[in-house]
Chain A
């Protein structure tokens, strides 16, 4: 799943989108330099067809890019801009320079596709941030000592981290399903299922990481909050877990599947990767 685009983009963000830069942008400092670096990388046109001078990649291929945005808490709508440009290009339209929100899609997409796209982009960023938060929590549990030993040697802490790892894994698979498309748009049901699962996972991972970190994790100075605040925001952004559960249920209700697995298998069959 990880590919060369993802690795190159990840290196770029590791270099330019450091926790200090994230804080500066959140304080209201200009993000122009960061945005310029991202645009110059060329990745912003990854989903735009080659005929419109893009890279013509599929959603499946750009998943590592969007996960990297979450992993590095990128405070700019890069993934959104990438998706908006693709949607507008496919509708034969142009786009303004600069960061774009999904509102810029206008009527270039049906409402259902737009909300599925928004859900998928958010799910992938949850998966990225979940991985970061899990890594930080494991590292902290290995370094922090109490009662004369690393807190990661206590079973209660270990089990909390194991549950976080399970949820991070679920979020990662949810993102892969959401992006399992050969076009620039996700399958609506897979995106709905993915956002439900990733949204549920986000809350567990954020809470677990703070439990493991203790008081230091609550401070503004410590980096954990950059990712956990986003996890909690992304949990409900583009529709809460319950919202997407209802969408999935309505699709099941409209069908005639005899058994639950039949519905699941049919929808998983739409995955293209």
Chain B
């Protein structure tokens, strides 16, 4: 059962990427406070993304003919792990790099690849993912946004919600209905690339409980898309989205969301002459879990690198990973509260507050815990 998740080695030539990335980040993130770095892949900085693009660190796995690095998924794992470790603000290019670009390469036409991929790699074209709608969250097959054929291409009407960074992106890859009604479920779904500067599009950011505004409502009111907006085959949207989600769920971002907080706390422990046994035991437990989870994450990455689509394995590792990500702020808060009279460093205190507040999102984004556990159960042969 899940025998495929075995200890996997990152090839030396890919591991070699770690040192230059680390050196760049040490310099680029000097002085950035931990509560900002804790935003990690939610932190948006277009200049930072372009700087990565200039170094060839966006689209690392894409073919060189499209401006990519022509490297393996292992190289990308190392790069992403270093970006997350440091708490780099990667949100601007994150979704294009992680899924939109590989998706366009896999399902798009050569013309589409030539049009989008080089700009993605330069950090000049940012993408968002148009999946959820007001009535379609976990039940994604019930989407109602419709792209209807007309003489110029497609006319788009409907609404998306919880679309991360829509207000700061150039394009959206949207899952839409091209035939049938909402009740037709998986049939009749397709994916279109929407230029978000087109007339008829309204984007409203939604403020989250920490005060940040990263996700948005997006309204389409008679938006005219050209013929080549369709990506992949008409009616094949469900299969395409499923393949896209294996990329979305499998990465190290599903185990490292609380790691800046963990670092701040461990650094705080180091300032003490003798940390409490309870704190040390917690540190040991988290570091052990991290070692096992990271090994599992590398092995899922290996399955992807070998050309498999490890959908169930990715769901399993994501659920384990987000459980640890959520355990970290809860347990650290408890350990720090051991001494009610202690004064905490401001950076640690702010980081803990931010991560504690946003942590519920870890097991919502990219597929809720409950949906993932249902998928795992099906993988186990249960119906």
A residues with CB within 8 A of B: 1-2, 131, 134-135, 138, 141-142, 150, 152-153, 155, 157-159, 161-163, 165-166, 168-170, 172-174, 176-177, 180, 190, 192-194, 196-197, 200, 241-242, 244-250, 252-253, 258-265, 267-268, 271, 273
Contact = CB atoms under 8 A, between A and B. Distances in A.
20 contacts: A1-B3, A138-B381, A153-B382, A158-B374, A158-B377, A161-B382, A162-B377, A165-B380, A166-B376, A169-B316, A169-B317, A174-B292, A194-B292, A196-B289, A197-B288, A200-B285, A252-B283, A260-B259, A260-B266, A261-B256
B280 A246 contact: yes
Contact of A166 (B283, B295, B316): B316
Contacts of A177: 7, 291-292, 295
Contact of B280 (A152, A250, A271): A250
A197 B327 CA distance: 14
Contacts of A161: 377, 380, 382
Given A152-B377, A252-B283, 20 more contacts: A1-B7, A138-B381, A152-B383, A153-B382, A166-B316, A168-B2, A169-B320, A170-B292, A170-B296, A174-B292, A176-B7, A192-B288, A245-B285, A249-B283, A249-B287, A258-B263, A261-B259, A261-B290, A265-B294, A267-B291
B7 A244 contact: no
A29 to B, nearest CB: 33
Q: Interface majority SS on A: helix, strand, loop or mixed?
A: helix
A248 B380 contact: no
B382 A170 contact: no
Contacts of A250: 280, 284
Contacts of B23: none
B281 interface: yes
A48 B283 CA distance: 37
B7 A180 contact: yes
Contacts of A197: 288-289, 291-292
Given A159-B377, A162-B380, A165-B376, A268 B291 contact: yes
Given A165-B316, A246-B280, A173 B383 contact: no
Contact of B287 (A153, A168, A193, A194): A193
B292 A168 contact: no
